[in-house]
Structure 1
Amino acid sequence: MPNVRSRVQSVGRGEAPRDAPEAYRSLDGYLREDRARAVLREQDNGQGILEFAGANDGEDPYPLVRERARIFGTVIRVGGTGDRIPVLIESNGVPIFGCHASRDVAKMLAHYLFEPVRLVGKGSWLRDAEGRWNVQRFKIDAFEPIKGTKASEALSELRAVAGEWTEEDYRDLERIRQGPKNNGGD
């Protein structure tokens, strides 16, 4: 109990190890999403140790955004119990908490530990005071490993693909690029 109390108090003072503030922000985000707030109190005397502002954190200029998306990163950890298996991804040196997968997807994803992947699924994002979008939750439906191919090698592979482009191919490409016309297609 003294270790937990000390760690929680260090979050409130802004002196906690890197993972503790991430956990605090995650819980605070869930409270904000649910339009709630909370205070962690001592059991014996009811004294407040740590306050979660949640919905009282000021008006968010952007609401929670939910959409299908892709996340690119390195698999750092896969594991847990239950039907939603937590997955920790690191993207550009920043850990992304809040990702989870079914047992089947997590089992396959575990084979790519410490390797780059593209995750596909549905996520929820909140924009912070600095204007950065942060993942609150991300359900991984599928993934694919990313090859560590250099750009020059990828270009060589593309150039090696045989085929002739016709004028019709270029017109099709231009139609795809421009999109449908007049809301009814072309």
Structure 2
Amino acid sequence: MSDERRLIFYIDAYSPETIPMAKLAEYMADFAALLGKDNAVHFAGLEKGSTKIAVRIEHEDLPKVTARLSDVRRGNPTKEMAKVFDQIDDRLANDNAVGRIYIDGPDEAVALLAFPGRTRQKPQSYGPFNQEGHLDGILISVGGKDESISLRLQNGDTTYTNCDTTRHIARELGKHLFEPLRIHGTGRWTREANGKWTLLRFRVHRFDVLKTDSLSDTVHALRSITGSQWKDIADPLAELENLRRDDEGELH
């Protein structure tokens, strides 16, 4: 035991009596992943007061463990270590907590790594911005009684609902219900704190009807071009598939 040192993961939320067991298990798993050296790290219990997860580090492996934590502190972690650090910090922020890891020395604690948790600078949202652009999708509805007519466009799992246009354009759009379209106009967007862009409104100025040609129609069009070599290819569909493969044979 004299050749082992104790590391403490301090969390200023909960206590050994109040922290949910599942949450404690998550923190312990992340702590273990951060320290590495599975065979040299041993759980030493929970201490009284705020949540303090104590582990014993075998003497010969302590420099290796502290070096890993120093890499994180200096901003030079491996990708795996950075991921674990961010995961712990996210847990702490969600629990309205901060944390730190230190060596429990005989005279004083030696700080190794701090987690800002709830005190970290929160990312900001930006906008809204106006941006000229276009949206693609299947027109699934057009309607309204006011001068501004609303419409909805579906593109896979995404449905654009905050779109509107004039009665004149809506009248023309109505002729292409359930057809693929590209609507052009001015979008009003915000960039959320998580980096996601949210469409607040899209004012449609014009639209294009997108072609729905089948692959065989496309091949027929390619073969009809003067000077095209596609007409000499026996199996053009197989050739198109080959063109989509990379050097390792993967299809893209």
* Counterpart check, 1:81 vs 2:154: no
CA separation of 1:128/1:142 partners in 2, compared to 1, >3 Å: closer, same or farther?
same
Question: Structure 1 residue 163: deviation in Å?
Answer: 7.3
- CA separation in 2, counterparts of 1:138 and 1:125? 9
The CA distance in 1 between the partners of 2:161 and 2:147, in whole Å, is 17
For residue 210 of structure 2, the aligned residue among 136, 146, 162 is 146
Structure 1 pair 159–132 and aligned structure 2 pair: CA distance change class (3 A): farther
TM-score between the two structures when normalised by the length of structure 1? 0.50
Match of 2:180 in 1: 116
Query: Deviation at 1:131?
Result: 2.4
Q: CA deviation at 1:118?
A: 0.6
Q: Distance in 2 between matches of 1:134 and 1:163?
A: 47
1:155, distance to aligned residue in structure 2 (A):
5.1
Q: Distance in 2 between matches of 1:93 and 1:87?
A: 17
Task: Tell me what 1:137 maps to.
Answer: 201
Change (3 A) 1:163 1:85: farther
Cα 1:87–1:152 shift into 2, 3 Å: same
Q: Which residue type is aligned with residue 160 of structure 2? A: I
Change in Cα spacing, 1:154 to 1:135, as seen in structure 2 (3 Å) is: farther
For residue 189 of structure 2, what is the amino acid of its counterpart?
W
Contact 1:65/1:126, CA 8 A, preserved across alignment: yes
Q: Distance in 2 between matches of 1:160 and 1:132?
A: 44
Pick the aligned partner of 2:124 from 56, 59, 67: 59
Please tell me whether the aligned partners of residues 97 and 135 of structure 1 are also in contact (alpha carbons under 8 angstroms): no
Q: Secondary structure at the match of 2:163?
A: strand
Task: Say if 1:141 and 1:131 are closer, same or farther in 2 by CA, change over 3 A.
Answer: same
- Corresponding residue SS for 1:64: strand
Contact 1:97 1:136 in 2 (8 A): no
Matches of 1:78 and 1:119 in 2, distance apart? Answer: 13
2:178 is matched by which residue type in structure 1? F
Residue 115 (structure 1) shift: 1.4
Matches within 5 A, 1:16-55: none
Superposed displacement of residue 65, structure 1: 2.4
How many Å separate the matches in 1 of 2:180 and 2:154? 9
TM-score computed with the length of structure 2 as normaliser: 0.38
- Could you tell me which of 95, 118, 128 is aligned with 2:192? 128
Aligned length: 107
* Secondary structure of 2:160 counterpart: strand
Greater gyration radius: 2
RMSD of the TM alignment (CA)?
A: 2.4
Structure 2 letter corresponding to 1:80: G
Deviations along 1:1-49, one digit per CA (max 9) or x if unpaired, are xxxxxxxxxxxxxxxxxxxxxxxxxxxxxxxxxxxxxxxxxxxxxxxxx
Q: Which runs of 5+ in 1 are unaligned?
A: 1-57, 165-186
Question: Is contact 2:138-2:181 (8 Å) kept?
Answer: yes
Shift of 1:158: 4.2
CA contact (8 A) 1:79 1:87 kept: yes
1:96-107 equivalences under 5 Å are 96-107=160-171
